[in-house]
Amino acid sequence: MSSMSRRRLIIAAGSIAAATSVSSRAAFAQATAQAPAGPFKVDPLPYPTSALEPHIDAKTMEIHHDKHHQAYVTNLNGFAKDHPEIAAKPITEVLASLNSVPEAIRTGVRNNMGGHANHTMFWQIMGPNGGKPDGEVLAAIDRDLGGMEKLQADFNAAGGRVFGSGWVFVTVAKDGKLALETRPNQDSPIMDGKRALLGNDVWEHAYYLTYQNRRPDYLKAWWNTVNWKAIADRYAAAKAGTLGV
C-alpha cells in the first residue's frame, strides 16, 4: 500500500471514530437528560415494571409510566412557569374549580392535570399479589354495586363502551357510597367534586402491546393486578375526607 493510500486510510478511520464518538456522546446525553424541573413530579412505581406480568407487560408499564405520565407532568411544569398559581393549591382543588384557571391554559390544565391525577391513582391501586376485597370495601361493593361478580361485569362492559380513549371508575362519596362511571380522555371524577376509589385506563397505550385491539381481554385480565389493600386504604381515607387523587 502506498504511503498516500495509508495516510488517507488513517484520516478516514480517524474521521469515523470522531463521528462515532460525537454520535455516542449525543445519544448518551439524550438518554440521560432529566425531565424539566418544576413543582409537579411523577412518583416512582411502587413495584418493578415486570411485577404485573403476564396481565400487563413490563414494556407497556415502562412506556406508560416513564413516557406518557411524564409527558403530562412536563406539560404541567411548562404551564406553571407562567402561571405558578396552578401549583400553589392541591391538585384536587384545581381540578374541582377549573373555571378559575386562566382560559389560555384551562384546556391544557384539564387534560394534563387530569392525566397526572388519574395515573397517580392508577399506579397506586395496582400491584402483585393484590388479594381480595374484604371488610368495609366488600360490604360497600355488595351494597352499592351488587357484589364483585356484577361489579366486574358492569365495569368491564362500561370500559368496553368508552369510545376512543378514556377511563372507567368506581367513585366513592364521603359517606362511603360507591358508583360506577366512565370519563372521556383524561377527565377525572375530581372535576365534579368526587373521588375515584379505583379506575382503569382504557387508552390504547395502556394495553396495546399485549392485547392489540382486544380491549375486553385487557379489562378482564386487569382485575388480576388490583391491590385490594391499597383500595381499602383509599376507602378509609375517602370516608375520613382525606383522600387526595
Asked, for residue 173, whether it belongs to a domain, the answer is: yes
* Domain CATH code at residue 217: 3.55.40.20
Asked, for residue 77, whether it belongs to a domain, the answer is: no
CA distance 70 to 42: 6
Length of the chain: 245
The answer to whether 96 touches 193, Cβ cutoff 8 Å, is yes
Q: What is the pLDDT of residue 130?
A: 87
Percent pLDDT > 70 in the chain is: 85
Asked, for residue 67, whether it belongs to a domain, the answer is: no
The tens digit of pLDDT for each residue in 128-175 reads 988 999 999 999 999 999 999 999 999 999 999 999 999 999 999 999
Asked, for residue 197, whether it belongs to a domain, the answer is: yes
The tens digit of pLDDT for each residue in 172-198 reads 999 999 999 999 999 999 999 999 999
What is the band of 36 on the pLDDT scale with cuts at 50, 70, 90? low
Asked, for residue 210, whether it belongs to a domain, the answer is: yes
Asked, for residue 203, whether it belongs to a domain, the answer is: yes
Q: Give the DSSP H/E element, type plus range, for residue 61.
A: helix 58-63
Is the Cα dihedral 154, 160, 161, 167 positive or negative? positive
Domain ranges, residue 193: 135-240
**Tally of structural domains, the chain:** 2
pLDDT for residue 85 is more than 60? yes
Asked, for residue 178, whether it belongs to a domain, the answer is: yes
Is the Cα dihedral 207, 210, 216, 219 positive or negative? negative
pTM of the full structure = 0.85
The tens digit of pLDDT for each residue in 38-78 reads 999 999 999 999 999 999 999 999 999 999 999 999 999 99
What is the band of 4 on the pLDDT scale with cuts at 50, 70, 90? very low
Asked, for residue 155, whether it belongs to a domain, the answer is: yes
